[in-house]
Structure formats: structure tokens, C-alpha cells
Structure 1
């Protein structure tokens, strides 16, 4: 894919100033059903932001409100500082300086590839010769320079999606909306297109609001991810923060896979705090590392401890003999099942009241473990994160574990300090 100059000093490669998106207090309904509830979101120019969540969480409704395809019940939407919805203002979709890439590609089957990309340019009254030159440049950018005379029906799904991207970017809109544009592609092509879309966005400096339910797409492509549930933002952050510092149980389990256990803080030190976790087995105690940027919980406070399957190590025979009898940061568990996936085993263990998922990396000399065998699972203090359970938070901003910046308080959000 050909590269073009990226935005420099706040300027779009075209010379236009970068333009962001501001959504304030957005409410959207379908009849009596609330699809989006008091949503606030700000996107900077040239930023790639993804709305992530399960079906029915309100992400596509939010996108349609921004596009002008659905009229909100309340709130305000601004693009580049210009109000396009709110206070008796509702700018039509074709006047919002927004282009959209759909799941179904939506390329014109009766037009050639070149004519598809020229379509928006000609709609802007651009001279035909100039529109043709620009469309050819865009086709070169997406790697389809040799396909300009082909019709859409002669292209593969991935090629049609590139045509849709080229068409959306050709008019240099203030914002490009993408509604699950890769979901119709096979897994291998989808993985390749993720990288191509991201590189194209970086090259052109385009501001993108992307919608998906696929957490791998969100984590691999985005500058920031907005996790939604039942019309409410649960957490906003960069991919690393969402994965390593989830704000609540929903985020922990939706963004990847997580083991979550509830316990009580028994001691708070300078570098770690200690949690009693009887639900993982009698006497189970974890020391949890405290990062420099977080406020630790207080003694006696209920917290939920999170550890990802790949953060757990399984003690071998020699380690089991040498493991500390103090019992800290170890879980005695019974193996229920083990699935060999080449690079690792996907294992399920029973520990107290919990079924725990573990990724066990093994070598050529490792012996398979049998279901029913007892093992010791080890989790270091640095491989544990935490949040305050919603029933304990009372909607307040008590607790820590991740910086509060980017996490908005809501009826279902546990704030993290």
C-alpha cells in the first residue's frame, strides 16, 4: 500500500486543519427503548477511536447519530467545532462533511472501480479531469491502481472494501465513520485488512470513528477504545490500559478473557496490598502490586482481583516442592480439562468456588497433565490488577487500579482513581 504524507503540526496533508468530534450528553431512543444514555465523547483530529461492545450496546446507534442517519432525543454533536446537532440544529447527513464505510461495502456494481472513487468528487462539482486524477491517486494508495477499469462485481471482498475506503477518503472529509467494515471478510483477510486500514488512516491523517464487536480489531487498530454496555460507556482508554487496568468486571471479561475473584483487603503497604480471597480456597491470600499512579484501597475494603489466563504460571514438580508454605499468591487447583493448541495449553481448573482459565506454555520435555490432578497456580503481585465491585462502590469514585482519566462515571461504571 502506497504511503502519503501524514499530518504535521495539526495540519491535514491536504492543508486543512485537523478536525475532531465532540459528543455531549447524547441520548438516543427507539420508541420507549433507550439505546444510548447521556454519552460524552471527544475525538481529536487524526485520531482513530473505536466503539466496542456486544450487539445492542448502542455503538452503531451512536455512529448513526453522528452521521445524521438517526435523530437523537437529546444532546449535542459538533464536528470541527461546528454544531451539526443540538438546540434546534440538525444538519442533513450530506452537509456534515462525513463519509461512511459500511459493512456491506456499498460500491456501485454498474460503475468501474475508478468511477466508484470519482463519485463523491463529482458530487462536489469537481472538474472531471481533476476528479479522475485524484481517484487514480487514491486507488494507488489502496493498492488497486491496476484495477481502475474493473467493475465491482469483478473484485474480491477485500478489494471491494478497499474501493469503499478509497471513495470515503477521496473527498478528504472531516470524519470517516466505519461500521464493522471487516466483518464480511474471512479470518485471514480480515487480519491483513486490519493493518492496511490502520496504515491508510495514519498515512492520510484522517479522523476515524470505528465500530466493532471484535476486541482483537479494537485493540490492534485504535488509538483509544470506548467500551459500551446497554447504551452507557464503561471505560475509555488506550488498548494497553483497557487490557491491563479494566474498570469493572464487564470490561475485564469483554476485552479479552479474565479470571475475577472477590476478596477483602487485609493490609496495605507501600508497594503492595494484601487481599484475602476465600472464594479461591480457604487461606488463599494475594499480594497485589501498587503502581506509582494509583491510589490503593483501604483496609477492610471489598475489591475484585483480576488475572488474565496468560498471567498465571503452573508450578512444575520441583517448584511445588520449593513453593512457599505461606500460601501467598498461589492457588491450589484441580485440573478439569486441557486443550493442546500447539504453542500452549488452554486449561480449566477448579479452585474453591471458581473455574479458572489458564494458558500454560510448555516445552518439548513437558509432560501432559491429567484431568483430576492437583496443581499449584502461581500469580506474581505484578500480574494482578483490581477494581472496586459495583455493589461496593455505590457509584462513587473510591478505589484505584487505573488512572481515572478517560473513565466516565455512570450508573454501571466503577470509577478507578
Structure 2
């Protein structure tokens, strides 16, 4: 049987057009964009054309896009450099308890350096109360980092509301939009976002490349030191082939394409939930089904150990996950579900994440659901 990949929140397969343009760039535009000869100038022109296209997707200036290695570097750059460069103005940072490890581990590092971090709680649906955020905001708060959409349960955070409050406060507002950029229309200037992290491999682009949006109005020191690439904002020779692949992936993500995918993913979810109900499977949706990313569906199957369920599905050629790929291979329970339900709730060990993407169709989803129901009934 054909294998079925349903772990697109972890990483996505590269689009064929992305692979083609990357191969072409490696073969034909191999010059260093910083070199002044013909080969370098050709590479530099390509780099700036791509920058312009990506900037247009966010309706920002091309100069506000800094190419890097992906979401983790973007998060680290935004958080660490903001904190270190503004510590004379305050030592207080705000984030949430359900952030990606690239944010949470960076915050822990800054705590070791003497910074104070407030980790905002969420309710049992994974929602962040704007009143909690407002109460946490202080005169000495220098940075707020709240993800746009959660990578495990899909919840969309109240970014617009936070941005509105931040316009009256001098703190910098960063959002990790890695999981949301491929499906949501994000306009940083309109939303009051100062820094925004993106990774190409979440949008059918290559791994190891991404970008950081930096509002021209704010100062941010370079995280990497060395050459003068990216206008002295990020040292290191640019990965032109990877950036070209990312540019093509962004180009393919038109508003019409995003809406088409939204509708398709909603139908996938409807198929799964309808069949589970028909089969009288005891399950619960983790997160807020009315306010989430369309491609993520996180379910608790009551009385069924998630690791056992994943193993049986894998033997059938079906790939789903228990949560963030960045914690895969460890025995650590989901920090997102712990924040929602507490450390001892059964959902911690009984939940799985199904995430849709390029290449999935109704037939695959129906096959997944039939096998899922069969496995659950056998286990129980």
C-alpha cells in the first residue's frame, strides 16, 4: 500500500517546482552574492529579486527581510539580541507556556543571565487570555514573544490584540510565525509586529533556510559576527539555492492557494471526525477547533497510549506524530498539553497530532481513518 505522510507540521515535502529551481540555481548561479565580478553580481541580483518577492507576501519593505538558516536562528536572534541590547531599559520578558522550544529554551538561557521571564498560562483549550497578557506587561518589559499559531494544537494566538496593546508600549514584539506563515495572511506592520521568524521547510521549501522580518523602525544587533552579508545584519555567505527554493515556495502560496488548502483541510478534518463519531470512538479535540490553523488536528483517544497507536500506524505506512518534531526521540511529555491540562492528565499520553499538507487527498484521509478506528478497537 502507498505510504501516507500526515506530519506536515513537523516538515513538508519540497514542491517539485522548488526542487527544479534549486537545481537550476546550483548549476547556473553559483557565484558568491558578495563578489563584485559578473558571477557575483548575477547572484546578488537573484538574491534581491527573491527578497522583493518575499517582502511582498508580508507587505513589508525588501530591506526588512533578513535571510537566515530558519526558525530557530530567527527566534534566537530576535530574542537574545533584543534582550542584550535593551537590558539597560529593563530585564523583563514575556512569552507563553506553549511556545516552540526554540523560544522557550532561549528564554531559559536568558534567565541564566539574570533576565526575568513571565510565562503566560493558557486555558484547557489552549487559549491565551489577553487580560493575562495585559496584567503581565510592565514598565521594565523590553520584549514580548508570542507565537502566531501553535505547532502542536494549532491554536491561533491573539496577535492582533497584543499588537494593539504594544503600540502604546516601548517593548519589542516578536512572533514565531513558522507554523502559520503557510496558511495565514500576516501583515506585520498592520499588526504591530516588530520581528517575525519564518522557516522554509514548513511551506514545501528546503530545510536549513528561512528569514527574519525586522521592522526598520527598531534596532537589532547581528547575532552572527563575520562578513558584511545581509547589510551587516547576518554574517555568512547566503545560501542562494536554498533561498531561491524558499522564494519559489512563497510564490506558490498565493491567497487563492491558501484558501483552497483551507477548504481541503477542513474537509479532511470533517471526514475524520464524522467517521470517528460513527464508530463511537471516545476522543477529544485538543485545542480550540473554532480558532486554529486548518492543517493541524490534535486528538486524544481515551484509553489508548499514543506511542502504541503511532507504532501500529507506522507499521501500516502512515506517519502522524505526538507533537513537536523538535522533541521527537525523547520521553518528555508535551509541554503544550501539560500547560493546558496539568502534568497528570491522561491526555498527555493519549494524544496524537495529524497534520495535512501537499500530496494528501480524500482517499488517503479515509484510509487513515479506517485503519485508525480498526487499531483503536483492537487496542481497547
Q: Give the TM-score normalised by structure 2.
A: 0.26
Larger Rg: 1
Higher relative contact order (CA 8 A, sep 6+): 2
The normalised TM-score by structure 1 is: 0.24
